[in-house]
Every structure is written in structure tokens, then in C-alpha cells.
Structure 1
Amino acid sequence: MGLKQRLIFLLTDAFNVSLAYSYIDGEERGQNAEQFQPMNGFSIPPNKFTAQIEYDNDNGWISSLTTLYVAGEDYRIDGNNAFGRRDVDSYTVVDWTNQVELGQGKLQVGIENLFNEQYFSVYSQLQRNGNNTSSIPGRGRTISLQYLYNW
């Protein structure tokens, strides 16, 4: 069972806020198992909440600030770690993007992970064990600059 909900609020002609929430739940029964059990973290992601405020001044400049919160979730059964069954920590990441029309194109400037949050993605947390190199931290603060030229 899942729920995905998105709400958009127009505060003014230039400002809007959007909120999104995602919840998914499910059970599975393994081969030769008699009872259903909650699905693991590779099949069912934790709850997610996104909030975004966007400014569009109608003169070609758009700026947005987006916050993503991923809830913690304990996928273990009876407290035991197994494939896709670990206790996952929550994390929050904030991104800021700007776009301005410039000449025949658009200049885009963005900062991902604005506050340089140190975190592990859900996938990386589920991969953790003594010698697994798939468990890598999320990217730190990343600044990008792009120019998109319209032909």
C-alpha cells in the first residue's frame, strides 16, 4: 500500500510553496514461509517529505529552495540485521537553485546539499557491513554552474 501526496500553495504571484509526502508499505512471504513479514528496505523506501519554496519574478529569474527529509526506519526483524534489513537513520538535505535568462539561453547556478550535511543514503545504509564498499556517504556541498544555449 502506498500514498503519495503533493500540495501546491500560491502565496503571491511570485512565490509558491509545494509540499510532497510519500509513504509506502507492504508485506511479503518468502519461499516456504508460512507468515507474511514486512518487506525489506530495498523494496519499500522509508517515508519522505519534500518542501519547496519558489520565487519567479516574471523577468526571467527563478530561485527555489528545496528540503528533502528521509525518515529513519528499522527494517530488522527481531532486531537482526540481514539483506536489506538494517536500522536506517533519517537525514535532511537542502538544495538551492537559481535560473536567469541570459542572452539566448539560461544561466543556472545551484548548490546541492547547501548545509554540507553528512549522511548516508538509504541504499548505502542498507549495504553496511564490515567489508562492503557500496556503503558510501552522500555527496557534500556541490556547486554547479551551467549555461543552456537555445539554438
Structure 2
Amino acid sequence: MDTLVDLQPVIADNQEIGLDYDDGRWLVHLAAYWSDSDLGSRLAFDNATQTYNVVRERTEIDGFEGSVAYQFTDATRVGVAYAKTDGRYDSNGDDRVDSDLPGINVAPDRATAFWDQTWTQAISTRLQASHSFDRDFDYRGTTLPDDFEGYTTVDLQARFQLPLGALNVGVENLFGEQYTTYYSQTTPRADTYTAGRGRVLTVGWSHRF
């Protein structure tokens, strides 16, 4: 086991600053964070075995996330959110980060928007759009071929209160967007290159007692 994974603990210096505001109408959340580790942990692709190995290197990660929602009426609420993450690592052991963390180690930047609506006491809906942004990966100043082409999906959820219990209906990828998943686009393995899920209908019934 000692030859496979460096068993020294991952010790990171984490810092975060944030702001939350809620006056009953506006709901705001803002946060920024930084994390660095002299001996971090990174998943690195091994072309010989076509698997990922854990590599211990200096890593630095920083990001931002924010969301704003507004309650127009008791029945209507809309909001937007954005999350951004950047990660770098030391690829040559000189104790300076010089390359982007691969896609399996860091999520894509993402923006979402939603609309919550209560139509009656028995019917409510949530319409949400989510966009993953394009991302390139840099290795010592050279852009790698495993870049990411972003995509947008829309989901719809509805809840119907019944005399007994509640009926929940959801449609994932409402418009049938054709896309390739983030993992498939950013991993070097050709056999995992697959399309994302198409339009999916989910129906469920629940009852609390």
C-alpha cells in the first residue's frame, strides 16, 4: 500500500469570507474561498492502465459562489446563482503551481436560474435552467486537447397536493438538449465518452403520516 499512495495527511490552509442577507423579499448569499496545500492530493490519469492514480503535489484552489433570489409575491419567487472554481498544481516538483487541475479534480463553472410558482394551494412548480461554462486546461503554458464544451439544460418540477398525499412530477432536460457530460469530455479514456441523459420523466407519490 505504501507504494501506491503517499499516506501523509492532506493538510490545507483554508480561508473563506462570505455575506448573507435576508429581509423577507431579497435573499442574497456571497462567498469566496481559498485553499492551498503543500502536499495536496490529485487524481492523475495513467495512460498505461487507463485508470486514475492519486498523486501528492502542491495544490491551490480558489473559487466564488453567489446567489440572489427575490420574492415578488407570496406565490412567486425567482433567483439566479453562479459558482466558479479554479485549481492549480505543481507538476514538476519546484514548489510552484504551474498547471490547471484536470477536470476530474475540479467542477466546471456553472450558472443557474429558477422560477418558483405557487399556482393554487394544491399546485406548485419550479422551472430551472442550468448552464455549465466552457473550460480549457493548461499544462505548463500549453492548452491540453481535453477541453470542455459547455451546455445548458432545463428542468421542470411540479407538485400536486391530493386528497391523500402528494404527486410529484419532474421532467429532466425538458427540451431534450444533446450534450456530452463534463466527465466524458475531460477524461482521456475513449470508452467513457458518452452523451448526457436525454429527456427523463419522473413521477412519484408521497404521503406523510
TM over 0.5: yes
Distance 2:106 2:149 in 1: 15
The percent identity for this pair of structures is: 27
- Of 128, 148, 152, which residue of structure 2 is paired with 1:66? 128
Distance 1:137 1:47 in 2: 19
| Residue aligning to 1:111 | 171
Runs of 5+ consecutive residues of structure 1 not aligned to the other structure: none
| Residue aligning to 1:30 | 91
Structure number with the bigger relative contact order (C-alpha 8 A, sep ≥ 6) is 1
Cα deviation per residue 1:112-141 (whole Å; 9 max; x = unaligned)? 101000111211111254xx3222111101
Query: Is the Cα contact below 8 Å between 1:104 and 1:150 reproduced in 2?
Result: no
- Matched to 1:41, the amino acid is G
- Larger Cα-atom Rg: 2
Distance 2:132 2:75 in 1: 28
| Residue aligning to 2:49 | none
TM-score for the superposition, normalised by structure 2:
0.64
Matched length: 145
Q: Which has the higher strand share?
A: 2
Runs of 5+ consecutive residues of structure 2 not aligned to the other structure: 1-61
Q: What secondary structure, in the 3-state scheme, does the structure 2 residue paired with 1:13 have?
A: coil
| Residue aligning to 1:143 | 201
Aligned-residue Cα RMSD (Å) equals 1.7
Q: What secondary structure, in the 3-state scheme, does the structure 1 residue paired with 2:108 have?
A: coil
1:5 to 2:70 alignment? no
Runs of 4+ in 1 over 6 A off after TM superposition: none
Q: What secondary structure, in the 3-state scheme, does the structure 2 residue paired with 1:140 have?
A: coil
1:51 to 2:113 alignment? yes
1:18 to 2:79 alignment? yes
TM-score for the superposition, normalised by structure 1:
0.87
| Residue aligning to 1:80 | 144
Deviation at 1:31, TM superposition (A): 5.4
| Residue aligning to 2:39 | none
